[in-house]
Chains A and B, each alone.
Chain A
Amino acid sequence: MIEAVGVSLVYPEGTAALQNINLTIKPGELVYITGPSGSGKTSFLKLLMGIEYPTDGILKVLGQPVAKGQASGIRKLRRSIGPVFQEFRLIKGRTAIENVMLGMRFLDVPFRSIKEEAANALEKVGLSQKSRSMVEHLSWGECQRVAIARAVARKPALIIADEPTGNLDKDNAMKMLELLNLFRDGKTTVIITTHATHLIEGEKNAVHIRMEKGNMSLERLG
């Protein structure tokens, strides 16, 4: 599913964001990536999505090498990923359901079932009654749930959520993690980055990646 061998990322201005990362993540795993700001969490997610390329080492995501000259393969890879962006990146001027549908329009989803799948995804995140609301009229939390619905409606092999608990209190943060955990199954891997290490205390059957100054340590919980 994800294989990194000696992966490093150095930005053009010389900042070493990631150093000699080695890891293997299997299909269906729940992965928490924790660490302070600037530890390299977002840089690692950027590599997984093919937004940045490793400056050293080999990285394969869902079998697709992430490297320069792989534009077409990376586009296909992105279609297999359900991203929940930190700032959501919902399209303004469109309703919640239109945003969810937009994420599926260029996939191999039968055209007639796009609306139904989008409605199902919104129902799973508890937003059925707001499906016709413009996203700019939704609260922060509701926007986050639309972003999750957009990600899961694509039936991705990999869900990536960047700091989904960032602006939430402890109870809501726990609910958010539980919600994301719902979409993990035997085939779908869920990767969540968070500052809040305390939220995953006691978590079982998950992978915990700690990041510190571009270095990574991996622990399988439970």
Chain B
Amino acid sequence: MTSLQHLLSLPGASLKAEDDLDRINALCLERGWSDGLPIVPPTVARVERMLEYCDRPWDQPIAKIPPRYGAATPLRLAANAVMAGCRPEYFPLVMLAIEALAEEPFNLYGVQATTHSCSPLLIFNGPIAAALKLNAGHGALGPGGQANATIGRAVRLALVNLGGSSPGLGDMATYGSPAKYTYCTAENALANPWQPLHVERGFPEHASTVTVVAAEPPHNVNDHESTTAEGVLKTLAGTVATTGVNNINNRLSEPVILFGPEHAATVARGGYSKQDVKEYLYEHARVPLAKFSDQNRERRLRVTFPERFATAGLDAMVPMCQSPQDYIVIVVGGAGKHSAVIPTFGNERSVTRALKRRDGTFAASVDDVRATQG
């Protein structure tokens, strides 16, 4: 293992700066190494502490981040995690998320460079999320939880600083999104009446995973009156079905339905499995062709989905995705009669990835992926 001192002595790997928080922040802003908020200076000592939770060679890229295709080495990621305010024990989850984002189906180039407002939503499952106190209850999408705030921010800073997704250059989002500062949550395992997301996707319960989805910010679904599963689902379906979201006109769409625990309990009590929920939404969350502008109908929907709509009448119903299974159903949050609909980019597929030890077995804690060399 190459020593940290040696790696930092390589050209461009580090810089000397005055030990002055304001000046270091001014320098980062000037060079575009920032999300606009103050950063924690990535000093050698802080980066070294972060790397204690990394069992991989510090200078070997675990991914390349488009559109610049900058090499995401543990060393560089650790600097970004420090800047974001991460505790060192969060670092394995930052690296895991970056690896998931770099998997081919996620289309990170498209997610980074698009004019759409999507940002990677990180959904954690399993025991490590709970051990690190990732907030899955009240306010699970922020603010307040240190792990949620800083893991998501570390990923964003890496996307900007290594991937070059600066506004108007590598990130062409028309207006961006508040979710681009941090977008990180965990499923509420205790309040989930259904299979957790990672188990649904073939991982054992004891695995700790991240699922990445290119998502818009959440749109709230308020239902204080429905007492039945069908009532809650009808409200949800009515909120999902809109004309202007990417999900309705892209083949890869996977809309996220974030159930608040109380709505989830009502729906589960009515006998609905997660698959039943997906089938209900697939059938009921639809928009008639007549609701679309002439150009969207003729130039987009009839052309993108000729098998469904090439010659369909104006009363034909357009679903929000191509099969029930495409809906991503999660349970997040605390008390309250609220859920959320989270539209997605629609030109990518979500990816779930587990944290593993070097021998390929599932990590039970972040201590399993601590540095063995340094």
A and B, one complex? no
